[in-house]
Chain A
């Protein structure tokens, strides 16, 4: 890790560690926007992480931005840090500027296809994007849309859309956004990014977030098993518990290695195979890890009063978002089948 990376990690750890307490997370689940948290993130430069310094951003590398994202996820930060980065990346690819405030992208489902056609001097964008993260909180939604056989990015002010509420199981906003809006020509620009690449970048983000949330679930579990006394001793003294904790730690380590793979891919070639590998492995770690963390905590971890669920509900959400394991492993597996027995090692695993 470079010195900058260490600085960003420590700064994010302090910021999110200090601010994302139980009260903030409870309020966010009720739909309260964490205004103070967002202001603190703005001040720290994390809300324009990927925007050039001369355009008022922090100009971080994608790798360093991913480090901040992992830490934010570790503390279950209830704000669209990953989505804002995705939007910045998408906007930059089309040379569009970003308005102040939180940002998001659409569509995030493979089944949602929006349409755009020229109208007057500008464009008309139509369609429905389901499960859009933090749409109602966003200042703008950056939409990736195909028109005239090319990919475009459209910058859409949230006030121009109709938004129906919705959430993932972690109570993070995932809203249904209906578009039927006229856009000025300045708000639309062509991009080299296509739907598959946007999905890959999103999956890389969620992989990194899973690694963060799982490391928190591990911490909470390790702490709990050493405090909880049954049969006259801390339950951490029982071999069955020790072995479960070993497996939780192993899967957490694998998720973090997967996050490193995803992060490096996002920073370089956005290779869908590498990102597929990472999302597949992290998704599985999320499932196994969340189950082990809950097993360790017993009934108390099943209560809303305990904080474990802030991490495990995010794991259960993020493993599905931007493609669950079956989607990405099918892509990796198909590549292996196409490469054949002779090619799978040389062309894919150790290419």
Chain B
């Protein structure tokens, strides 16, 4: 019978715990004065100077080969850095996508030239990425992508539109997912990925303001945008396979259950040791979920490290993790006699307002809840 096996995660060791102590000391120094409301942004919080400092310590591109600017550390060591950053609410957003998936994709599928020119800059915290997947008529149905790259002399001409592109306005490159062949019957064939320089003429970026009034995502228009042949990532027509691989990295990390961790921190601070039994029960439940998710997420990290394909397990982590992230504001509002207020001085109500308003996006970004459940069902042999 099909079972979702989560093998025991690789155990932490002296090296990882030494690293953890270093990261904690760094965070204690660097995050002084950062408000809870700022920490609540989690991996959407952006601070280029902070990203550079992380890079200086070798905490971007940690597992990548040294010859491409990486540091050849283990996936487990990288995991320690990520989780410590997120738990502290560090502003890791600038480099997050490049470090999590763009860099690894280029290393796995890219040409030698792409690896040498781009990857070291990512590791230095100088080069940020956005993901060009969704389109107005291609959201969950990624294979319906219509943006097209047409072969021309010396390269491709791109026409079309991407949407919900987080950080397009502050990224150096986009990994563009688009159609390169419109003739076949198979919707999963004829799609490819390109590394697109965001300064290329013909690219127009328009902000989309979210319901909280913040600007994270964008529309990106391509009108006769010429991209050179060397921008193709991987094999022409292999885009679907490549994207599927990328998504396991995107869906299983601690960023999928720690997005509202700052709210737990502020709630514990506000209620204190004398909190009533009801609060202890509710917060203990949240903590229990977090600790089990952390184990499952580390298990997936171990599978990725061993070169296994944990696409289904990654979907389980994201589905359970985002459900918890979304529950935390709902639980907290029942424990405190205060209303969410974005601009309040009281850190708890400010963080509550921020998390509550951003919670709907947690089960949309990186694959909707419904898509993930479909992936899990396929893994169980039901589809």
Contacts and interface: CB of A to CB of B under 8 A. Distances in A.
A146 interface: no
A178 B325 CA distance: 48
A239 B269 CA distance: 43
Contacts of B280: 329-330, 333-334, 337
A340 B265 CA distance: 7
A277 interface: yes
A219 interface: yes
A316 B287 CA distance: 23
Contacts of A280: 284-285, 288
B268 A260 contact: no
Given A330-B284, A337-B272, A254 B292 contact: yes
Contacts of B118: none
A286 interface: no
B282 interface: yes
Given A222-B2, A337-B275, A350-B87, A281 B382 contact: no
B170 to A, nearest CB: 29
Main secondary structure of the interface of B (DSSP, over half): helix
A129 B266 CA distance: 43
Interface in A250-285: 250, 252-254, 256-258, 260-261, 274, 276-278, 280-281, 284
Contacts of B20: 350
Contact of A341 (B266, B299, B380): B266
A322 to B, nearest CB: 16
Interface stretch (B59-67, B356-364, B370-378): B370-378
A158 interface: no
B295 interface: yes
A218 B376 CA distance: 13
Contact of A340 (B2, B4, B268): B268
Contacts of B320: 250, 254
A250 B288 contact: no
A332 B283 CA distance: 8
A249 B292 contact: no
A351 to B, nearest CB: 10
B13 to A, nearest CB: 14
A237 B370 CA distance: 15
Interface in A277-329: 277-278, 280-281, 284, 325-326, 328-329
Contacts, number: 169
A351 B362 CA distance: 27
Interface residues of B, number: 57
A339 interface: yes
B213 interface: no
B92 interface: no
B116 to A, nearest CB: 36
A260 B295 CA distance: 9
A163 B379 CA distance: 49
B381 to A, nearest CB: 7
Contacts of B24: 346
Given A241-B382, A246-B374, A350-B20, 6 more contacts: A246-B319, A277-B292, A326-B281, A329-B281, A333-B287, A345-B88
Interface of A: 1, 215, 218-219, 222-223, 225-226, 236-237, 239, 241-243, 245-247, 249-250, 252-254, 256-258, 260-261, 274, 276-278, 280-281, 284, 325-326, 328-342, 344-346, 348-350
